[in-house]
Amino acid sequence: MVHNRDKRIINVIYNYNSPSKKTYSILTEKLKKKGFIIPEKYDEKAELNICIGGDGAFLRAIHRFNFPNIPFIGINTGHLGFFQEILPENIDDFIEKYINEDYMIEEIFLVKASVTTKEKSFQLYGVNEIVIKGIRSKVVHLEVFIDGNHLESFCGDGIIISTPAGSTAYNFSSGGSIIYPSLKTLQITPLSPISSRAYRSLPNSTVVPGEIPITIKPEYRYENSILIVVDGFEIKYDNLTEITFTVPSKTISRLNFDKNMYWNNLKSKFL
């Protein structure tokens, strides 16, 4: 990575619980001693974003700063912290390795939804997943197409379109598979699919290559009963006609200090 050697800026993003605040002051103290500049306000010219908190804090930081190109590293003060590689007690080791450039850069693939309503069209981006659900706990009726081919008329609670990074989150709790982060894919995971003589929905997940678009169309008479949930944030649109999901070329970069991290993390956090 190219650094401006005179002015090395690092954004430190933290939430307001007391372990995060404590970690923030310890970390910034140590970074300043090594000559780094820690701005008060988020600086777009920074070389690194350090996010203190749990996975939720990491997700919110990406959305809040509009999917920055600056790489991220997380310090876990949260509950699970699957994304958050560094523990507060290992800060010294982390700074040492960061200065020595002893790390790899890993790309996190995202999910992009191109949403069309009768009035407008626009894009949404998710890190973990984008979920299509019914409002007020209603059953949703959705037509699912892969690369323009009709797959199913889905009925049930909803459908999760998960990224590889999000595969260990909502997708996993809903019976979806864990997908290694370097696999550029989207996973379609049903939420309580109805499979009966009245309705036929696939009961399991489908993993689709990132180059192939997935389209979901609500049945027209239900077009006003759809809720879109992006990384846990609910959005409601009127007259929704179509949503197409793809893997965008934009990614989020993240530092990785240990090539065995993913598998060790998986075991220690889920078993």
Q: Which residues bind ligand NAP (CB under 6 A)?
A: 54-56, 59, 78-83, 128-129, 165-166, 168-170, 173, 231-232
Q: Give the CB-side neighbour count of residue 32, counting CA atoms within 13 A.
A: 10
Q: CB of residue 87 vs ligand NAP: minimum separation in angstroms?
A: 13
Specify the residue, 55 or 157, whose C-beta has the smaller distance to Mn ion: 55
Matching residue, tokens 């749990």:
54
Q: Is 54 in the site for Mn ion (CB under 5 A)?
A: yes
Amino acid letter, 195: S
How far apart, in whole angstroms, are the C-alpha atoms of residue 164 and residue 40? 33
Amino acid letter, 162: S
**Whole-angstrom Cα Rg for the chain:** 20
Q: CB of residue 54 vs Mn ion: minimum separation in angstroms?
A: 5
Picked from ligand NAP, Mn ion, none, the partner binding residue 166 (CB below 5 to 8 A depending on kind) is ligand NAP
Specify the residue, 54 or 218, whose C-beta has the smaller distance to Mn ion: 54
Q: CB of residue 128 vs ligand NAP: minimum separation in angstroms?
A: 4
The percent helix, strand, coil of the chain (3-state, each to 5) is 25, 40, 40
Q: Is 93 a catalytic residue?
A: no
What residue is closest to ligand NAP based on CB?
Answer: 56
Specify the residue, 71 or 126, whose C-beta has the smaller distance to ligand NAP: 126
Q: What crossing angle do the helices spanning 91-99 and 18-33 adopt, rounded to 10°?
A: 40
Q: State the Cα torsion 232-259-108-6 to the nearest 10°.
A: 110
Picked from Mn ion, ligand NAP, none, the partner binding residue 128 (CB below 5 to 8 A depending on kind) is ligand NAP
Specify the residue, 47 or 129, whose C-beta has the smaller distance to ligand NAP: 129
* Catalytic residue (one of 43, 55, 93, 147): 55
* Tokens describing residue 38: 């820690």
Question: Binders of Mn ion: how many residues, by CB under 5 A?
Answer: 2
**Maximum distance among all Cα pairs of the chain, rounded to whole angstroms:** 69
Q: CB of residue 47 vs Mn ion: minimum separation in angstroms?
A: 27
Provide the 8-state DSSP code for 178. P
Binding test (CB under 5 A) with Mn ion, winner from 8, 37, 56, 95:
56
Matching residue, tokens 């974003």:
49
Where on the chain is the footprint of Mn ion (CB under 5 A)?
54, 56
Active site residues: 55
